[in-house]
Amino acid sequence: MNPSDKETSRRSVVKSLFTSITAAGAAVLGVTHARPAEAADIRKIPDDQEAAAKRPPLFSGSVTHNGLVYVAGKGEHGPGDITAHTVSVLNQIEAELKKAGSSMDKVLKVNVYLHDIKDYDAMNEAYRGRFGNSPPVRTTIACYGGIPGSSLVEIDAIAAV
């Protein structure tokens, strides 16, 4: 056996040993290898307006993958105050969740983007109770420069299917 074969064999043994130790450690800690996403596992649900468009859409209304549904940010672009906009946006999210086979009580995470932080209390009043007695975790921020499309609020969500 020449010296380069010995080095290759030694590296192979060390690599195999390291892999075994890592796998055993992961098993003890309950960690498994993540399965790569396959196209068949991902379902993109177009927004109703996007489905009717002649050009390719910019984004999907929601995407489901591995038991979760990711709902794109929804806004209200018509007239009304923060209460009317919040109610409309939450209704849009609820409709999107139903299309994906989920519901408001399965929402895990919500992001709320306000045009003006002064609308925080009124938005909370319209928001309260829409997700049941155990609401999801939430982040709320006021957006510098406002929200695109003149909406007073935009909300996105992640839910279990």
The whole-model pTM stands at 0.70
How many CA atoms, within 13 angstroms, populate the side-chain half-sphere of residue 85?
Answer: 27
Q: What is the pLDDT of residue 137?
A: 98
How many CA atoms, within 13 angstroms, populate the side-chain half-sphere of residue 115?
Answer: 17
Q: What is the pLDDT of residue 33?
A: 44
Q: What is the pLDDT of residue 139?
A: 98
Q: What is the pLDDT of residue 59?
A: 83
Q: Which residues of the chain have pLDDT under 70?
A: 1-40, 43-44, 46-53
Q: What is the pLDDT of residue 91?
A: 98
Distance, in Å, from the CA atom of 126 to the CA atom of 87, rounded to the nearest integer, reads 6
Distance, in Å, from the CA atom of 124 to the CA atom of 69, rounded to the nearest integer, reads 23
The secondary structure of residue 149, as a DSSP letter, is G
Q: Give me the residues paired with residue 110 across strands.
A: 138, 157
Question: Exposed, middle or buried, 78 (CB in 10 Å: 0-12/13-18/19+)?
Answer: exposed
Q: What is the pLDDT of residue 48?
A: 60
Q: What is the pLDDT of residue 142?
A: 96
Q: What is the pLDDT of residue 18?
A: 45
Q: Read out DSSP for 65-92?
A: ETTEEEEEEEE--SS--HHHHHHHHHHH
- Distances in Å between the Cα of 97 and the Cα atoms of 29, 66, 69 are 34, 15, 7
Q: What is the pLDDT of residue 54?
A: 72
Q: What is the pLDDT of residue 99?
A: 95
> Domain 39-160 - what CATH class?
alpha beta
CB 54 within 8 A of CB 62: no
Residue with tokens 């909300």: 155
pLDDT digits (tens, 9 = 90+) for 113-131: 999 999 999 999 999 999 9
The secondary structure of residue 59, as a DSSP letter, is S
Distance, in Å, from the CA atom of 81 to the CA atom of 153, rounded to the nearest integer, reads 10
pLDDT digits (tens, 9 = 90+) for 86-104: 999 999 999 999 999 999 9
